[in-house]
Amino acid sequence: MEKPKTGQAFVFQKDIPAEDMPTWTKRRIAAHGKEMMLVENEFMTGDTAPEHEHYHAQITYVISGALEFTVDGETQILRQGDSVFIKPHAVHSAEAVEDSLIVDMFAPMREDFLD
């Protein structure tokens, strides 16, 4: 299995690799083009995304579970159906308070994820 190609239209989850991550459980790079990228992330309770920032705008959407998100110093718990917009260079972090599945979207794409 390999990551989908940049600009590839259809991406089937069964065809893409789930990468083990240092501080959370799994990441899958899904559909993307140069303008934007979708990334699916699985967190177990207590997993974290440590504080960081990037020039890409980001939206995270919670499919299941619950996570504590901090963006620009404001902290909220996000649950199923909730979302957060992270403007370019906003400092942000997350910690799963339940086992969670989320999608992160970036504009433009995270070229640093493709190596």
> Which residues would be at the binding site for a second copy (CB under 8 A)?
7-13, 30-33, 35-38, 40, 57, 59, 61, 63, 69, 71-72, 74, 76, 78, 80-88, 90, 103, 105, 107-108
User: Smaller CB distance to a second copy: residue 71 or 96?
Assistant: 71
* CB of 103 closer than 8 Å to CB of 81: no
CA-closest candidate to residue 66, choices 101, 26, 40, 92 = 101
Least gap, CB of 96 to a second copy (angstroms)? 17
* Angstrom distances, CA of residue 33 to CA of 40, 71, 85, 88: 16, 26, 20, 18
User: Smaller CB distance to a second copy: residue 5 or 22?
Assistant: 5
Least gap, CB of 61 to a second copy (angstroms)? 6
Least gap, CB of 103 to a second copy (angstroms)? 6
Least gap, CB of 35 to a second copy (angstroms)? 4
User: Smaller CB distance to a second copy: residue 13 or 22?
Assistant: 13
Burial grade of 92 (CB within 10 A; 0-12, 13-18, 19 or more): buried
What tokens does 8 get?
A: 């590839």
- 2 bridge partner residues: none
